[in-house]
Amino acid sequence: MSEKAGVTSYDVARRAGVSQSAVSRAFRKGASVAPATRARIVEAAMALGYEPNAIAQGLITKRSNLVAIIISNLTNLYYPEVLAELTQRLSLHGVRVLLFSLAAESDVEEVLGQVWRYRVDGAIVAARLSTEQLVAFSNRGVPLVLYNRVGEGVPVASVCCDSDLGERALVDGLVQAGHTCFGIIGGPADSYVGEERANAAINRLAHHGIKAEFVRGQFDYESGGAGLKTLMELTDSKLDALICVNDLMAIGAMDTARNIIGKRVPSELSITGFDGVSPATWEAYQLTTIRQPVRRMTQAAVAMLLERIESPDISPEQRLFAGELLSGRSARLL
> Which residues bind to a second copy, rule: CB under 8 A?
2-5, 49, 51-56, 58-59, 64, 66, 69, 73-75, 77, 79-81, 83-84, 87-88, 91, 96-101, 103, 113-114, 116-119, 136, 139-142, 221, 225, 251-252, 254-256, 258-260, 278-279, 282-285
Question: Which of helix, strand or coil describes residue 282?
Answer: coil
Euclidean distance between CA atoms 326 and 169, whole angstroms = 10
- Using rule CB under 7 A, residue 32 touches DNA: yes
- Using rule CB under 7 A, residue 29 touches DNA: no
- Using rule CB under 7 A, residue 15 touches DNA: no
Nearer of residues 8 and 281 to DNA, judged by Cβ: 8
Those residues with Cβ within 8 angstroms of residue 56's Cβ, 6 or more apart along the chain or in another chain: none
- Using rule CB under 7 A, residue 35 touches DNA: yes
Euclidean distance between CA atoms 274 and 329, whole angstroms = 14
Which of 252, 240, 319, 244 minimizes the C-alpha distance to 274?
244
Nearer of residues 18 and 304 to DNA, judged by Cβ: 18
Euclidean distance between CA atoms 264 and 257, whole angstroms = 7
- Using rule CB under 7 A, residue 115 touches DNA: no
Q: How many residues does the chain have?
A: 334
Euclidean distance between CA atoms 120 and 130, whole angstroms = 20
Those residues with Cβ within 8 angstroms of residue 30's Cβ, 6 or more apart along the chain or in another chain: none
Kindly state the smallest distance separating residue 99's Cβ from DNA, in Å: 23
Q: What does the CA dihedral 247, 249, 252, 257 come to, rounded to 10 degrees?
A: -100
Q: Which of 2, 61, 267, 311 binds DNA (CB under 7 A)?
A: 61
Nearer of residues 71 and 160 to a second copy, judged by Cβ: 71
Query: Using CB distances below 5 to 8 A depending on partner kind, what does residue 142 bind out of DNA, a second copy, none?
Result: a second copy
Euclidean distance between CA atoms 86 and 305, whole angstroms = 11
Kindly state the smallest distance separating residue 39's Cβ from a second copy, in Å: 20
Q: Does residue 302 contact residue 263 with C-beta atoms inside 8 Å?
A: no
Nearer of residues 62 and 264 to DNA, judged by Cβ: 62
- Using rule CB under 7 A, residue 36 touches DNA: yes
Listed ranges 53-61, 68-76, 145-153, 237-245: which one lies at the site for DNA (CB under 7 A): 53-61
Alpha-helical regions (H) of 49-130: 54-61, 79-92, 108-117
Query: Using CB distances below 5 to 8 A depending on partner kind, what does residue 141 bind out of DNA, a second copy, none?
Result: a second copy
Nearer of residues 135 and 177 to a second copy, judged by Cβ: 135
- Which chain residues interact with DNA by CB under 7 A? 6, 8-10, 17-22, 24-25, 27-28, 32-38, 50, 52-53, 56-57, 59-62
